[in-house]
Amino acid sequence: MDVERVRGSFPALADGLARFDGPGGSLVPREVTDAIAAALTWGLCQRGALTEPERRADAITLGARASMGRFLGTDPGGVIFGRSMTALTFDLARTLSPDWGPGDEIVVTRLDHDGDIRPWVIAAERAGATVRWLGFDPVTAELDDVAGLLSERTRVVAVTGASNLLGTKPPVRAIADAAHEVGALVFLDAVHLAAHAPIDRVAMGVDVVACSPYKFFGPHLGVLAADPAFLATLQPDKLLPSTDDVPERFELGTLPYELLAGVSAAVDFIESIGGMSEVEAHEDDLLDRLLDGLTALPHVRVHGSPAQRTPTLLVQVDGHRDEEVRAHLANLGIVVPNGNFYAIEASRHAGLGDAGGLRIGLAPYTNSTEIDRLLAGLAALA
């Protein structure tokens, strides 16, 4: 991947900062902002087939579904747009939970972002169902074996595709196969994974996948995708005059057409730079460089050593508070945020309390010079 060509599409990089805050939301390329601006100035109306504004709104919507269908390896007819991944997950949990009751079980993991924990926990508690917690090794950050938590009463297994705090990539296909053996639904939080690796919902064996385009160059909204036949079996809350068609019946109110145009542009941009396989290879090379450099800094501790991971590291510097390190790096023009990043269960389970640590996140626009700047900045704290 030609990283310098990629960097040329990001106006924000002109400020000279070395950005390692991508897991909280990536920078946005010019191609995406241009698409959003164009849609906003087209004078869009509601979707329809009569007037040109109606046809444009319809084309933008269908185009965005097709783009996310390609990106997630799923039928575009099952792609749902919403305010955020968290909001969509709450909506799905509320839609499913009326069929749960005492004795039913919902499995969540302590590795996940709270957006893939709390919606299921709240819905289960209201339904009288039992929440089963899947832990992870605090040292390696590897997820425990789900088999011991599954039973014929398991209704949902909610698991992350990759930890946004520690970078761990669990064995999703094996988890999905085990869950399906007991008849459970598998929900995949792919918010962090989607920014770093190819996703194929069908090949991964999951029933529902959710992500956030603003993590991979797009605008702020959420996406949830499933087989349209499965969605047709669900009855979400909706307004009386709203259509009963899938997936529209899951989308409350008028869609933000300009943001959908940005979603399509983000996917087009990723495909133009070689696709997520090229992104993954580029980031893996940079991650090796970063890990090698950190090994030479004994005062810097990296939390977790999973066998499969995204280019996301949680670190702490001996003798310095996280806030001090963050400020030191900021003075050098290096952006590294700190916190638990809403993965509060993971932070607590790893022995870090609610504070978390410093999160170093690589992105497709990261280059080796920025890695070296970061390593030098951390070395100065020895």
Contact of 170 with 192, CB cutoff 8 Å: no
In terms of DSSP bridges, do strands 208-211 and 185-189 run parallel, antiparallel, or are they unpaired? Answer: parallel
Rounded mean pLDDT, 86-104:
98
Torsion angle, alpha carbons of 195, 200, 206, 212, to 10: 30
Q: What is the mean pLDDT of residues 342-355?
A: 98
Domain final position from 228, 249, 271:
271
Average pLDDT, the chain: 97
Instruction: Give mean pLDDT, residues 189-199.
Output: 98
Between 144 and 45, the more confident residue is 144
Q: Report how far apart the first and last C-alpha atoms of the chain are (Å, whole number).
A: 34
Count other Cβ atoms within 10 Å, centred on residue 227: 17
Q: Among residues 215, 242, 271, which one ends one of the domains? A: 271
Alpha-helical (H) ranges within 135-235 are 172-181, 201-204, 228-231
96-120 residue pLDDT tens: 999 999 999 999 999 999 999 999 9
The answer on 91 and 13 residing in a single domain is: no
- Tens digit of each residue's pLDDT (9 = 90 or more) over 287-339: 999 999 999 999 999 999 999 999 999 999 999 999 999 999 999 999 999 99
Query: What domain count does the chain have?
Result: 2
CATH of the domain at 346: 3.90.1150.10
pLDDT at 188: 99
81 or 42: whose pLDDT is higher? 81
- CA pair distance 165, 161, nearest whole angstrom: 12
Which pLDDT belongs to residue 45? 85
Cα dihedral sign for 138, 140, 141, 147? negative
Residue reference for tokens 């709270």: 114
3-class DSSP assignment, residue 109: strand
pLDDT for res 129: 98
Q: What is the three-class DSSP state of 226? A: strand
User: What is the DSSP code (8-state) at residue 256?
Assistant: -
Last residue of a domain, one of 271, 300, 320: 271
332 and 213 in one domain? no
Backbone phi, then psi, for 27, in 5-degree steps? -70, 160
State both tokens at 7: 């960097």
**Percent of the chain predicted with pLDDT > 70:** 100
Q: Is 347 in the same domain as 316?
A: yes
Please give the pLDDT value at position 204: 98
Q: What is the pLDDT of residue 157?
A: 99
Q: Would the pLDDT of 19 be above 90?
A: yes
Q: What average pLDDT does the segment 273-300 reach?
A: 98
Q: Are residues 9 and 85 in the same domain?
A: no
Q: Nearest Cα to 363, choosing from 342, 336, 344, 327?
A: 336
C-beta of residue 140 within 8 angstroms of C-beta of residue 305: yes
Residue 56's domain spans which residues?
32-271
- What's the rounded mean pLDDT across residues 81-95? 98
Q: Are residues 24 and 81 in the same domain?
A: no
Q: Specify whether 203 is located in the same domain as 265.
A: yes
